[in-house]
Amino acid sequence: MKSRTREEERRLAAFFRGEIARLATRPVRLMEVCGTHTVAIFKAGIRQLLPPEVELVSGPGCPVCVTPNEYLDTAVAYSRQQGVIITTFGDMLRVPGSSSSLAAEQATGADIRIVYSPLDSLAIAAANPAKKVIFLAVGFETTAPTAAATVLAAEQAGLTNFYVLSAHKLVPPALRALLTAGEVQVDGLLLPGHVSAIIGEEPYRFLAREYGVPAVITGFEPLDILGAVYLLVKRIAAGEAALDNEYRRVVPPAGNPAAVAVLDKVYGEADAAWRGIGVIPASGLAVKAAYRRFDALAALPVTVEETKDHPGCRCGEVLRGVARPADCPLFGAACTPERPVGSCMVSVEGTCAAWYKYGAGRWQV
């Protein structure tokens, strides 16, 4: 993509736009599942390039956003224990739990460290043998293999003070849950490129087969996304439900078997709770029995406060694609990126944060 000149990009964009406008003869609703796509769509101003018939809605594809309060409460409870170091990606810090957040705990003395790779946690564990290091393992199929590899590396290094608190989630089961619930009518799906680079095409085949919904695996450049919308609108116009892979240059049809093998070695499918959606069968990853000593929940006792939800926050509906951020009375008023109320405003990939930052409702609809 990068090798195209700006002029070529403009021409291709104009072609996609023209074709989308020509083919979209009835209202269609396309869902971008992935938070990275949501941000890319807003950053490139793509919604505004589409005819009124084509509506893009954001789905539950931001791992920080869909992590429920209960998980944060558990992390907070661990962070309050003596001799515990929490390692986490930065976004998790500010997400409000039931009564606290990791940032608030850090300000009052909890040892919480931001890492850029889960592997960084191992160096911290090695340097602090008297402490217990708990990595907050959050993310979809993209990040889970690295977390799994970290567990294997911890075993290899003989570390006995490293643990993961797993909230890993799987994309295909969430799509099934959304389509089954039928709460939001979806005519087509934009599928995340980086998740697909791991799992390949096969896990999405049920979308067309069982639900008759066309889907496109796509990348994150503006032209990738516009091209994917074009492919979906074309399929819909032709009355076809199929899976297309627009992102072949990165996503092999079979995915990355080596990463999947590492994942399968350490993790097994488990039911998981999603914020705003509830428990989805087999949509999460739990540490397998053989690696239980690395599983914080299994190895380290903890008492967690009772879960409370934030009054007024409509993150759940936003994550299900039922409400738009602007429908939330707190949006832009009580809830801003500086003082977020809900997870969708905290995470840089959150739908509310993207709406706010890129001015949805002002420059675009």
CB 165 within 8 A of CB 271: no
Establish if 314 lies at the interface with ligand SF4 (CB under 6 A). Answer: yes
Binds 44, which of ligand SF4, other proteins, none (CB < 5 to 8 A, cut-off by type)? other proteins
With respect to ligand SF4, which residue has the nearer C-beta, 65 or 84?
65
Q: How far is the CB of 328 from ligand SF4 (least distance, A)?
A: 3
With respect to ligand SF4, which residue has the nearer C-beta, 85 or 277?
277
Specify the DSSP element, H or E, that contains 53. Answer: none
CB 78 within 8 A of CB 134: yes
With respect to ligand SF4, which residue has the nearer C-beta, 280 or 319?
319
Name residues whose C-beta falls within 8 Å of residue 301's C-beta, 6 or more positions apart in sequence: none
Give the SS3 label for residue 227: helix
Count of positions on this chain that bind ligand SF4 (CB under 6 A) = 14
Establish if 68 lies at the interface with ligand SF4 (CB under 6 A). Answer: no
Q: How far is the CB of 341 from ligand SF4 (least distance, A)?
A: 4
Establish if 228 lies at the interface with ligand SF4 (CB under 6 A). Answer: no
Exposed (0-12), middle (13-18) or buried (19+): which is 20, by Cβ within 10 Å?
buried
Binding mask 322-361 for ligand SF4 (x = CB under 6 A): ---x--x-xx---x-----xx-xx------x---------
Q: Quick one: which segment of 94-102, 191-199, 255-263, 309-317 binds ligand SF4 (CB under 6 A)?
A: 309-317
Q: How far is the CB of 352 from ligand SF4 (least distance, A)?
A: 3
Establish if 315 lies at the interface with ligand SF4 (CB under 6 A). Answer: yes
With respect to ligand SF4, which residue has the nearer C-beta, 30 or 328?
328
Q: Using CA atoms, how far apart are residues 3 and 15, in angstroms rounded to an integer?
A: 18
Binds 49, which of ligand SF4, other proteins, none (CB < 5 to 8 A, cut-off by type)? other proteins
- Residue where the block lists tokens 């969708």: 344
Binds 315, which of ligand SF4, other proteins, none (CB < 5 to 8 A, cut-off by type)? ligand SF4
Establish if 42 lies at the interface with ligand SF4 (CB under 6 A). Answer: no
In 12-143, DSSP assigns E strands to 28-34, 54-61, 84-88, 111-114, 132-139
DSSP 8-state code for residue 25: -
Q: How far is the CB of 271 from ligand SF4 (least distance, A)?
A: 25
In the chain, DSSP assigns E strands to 28-34, 54-61, 84-88, 111-114, 132-139, 162-168, 188-192, 215-218, 243-245, 267-274, 278-287
Q: How far is the CB of 97 from ligand SF4 (least distance, A)?
A: 14
Indicate the length of the chain as a whole number. 365
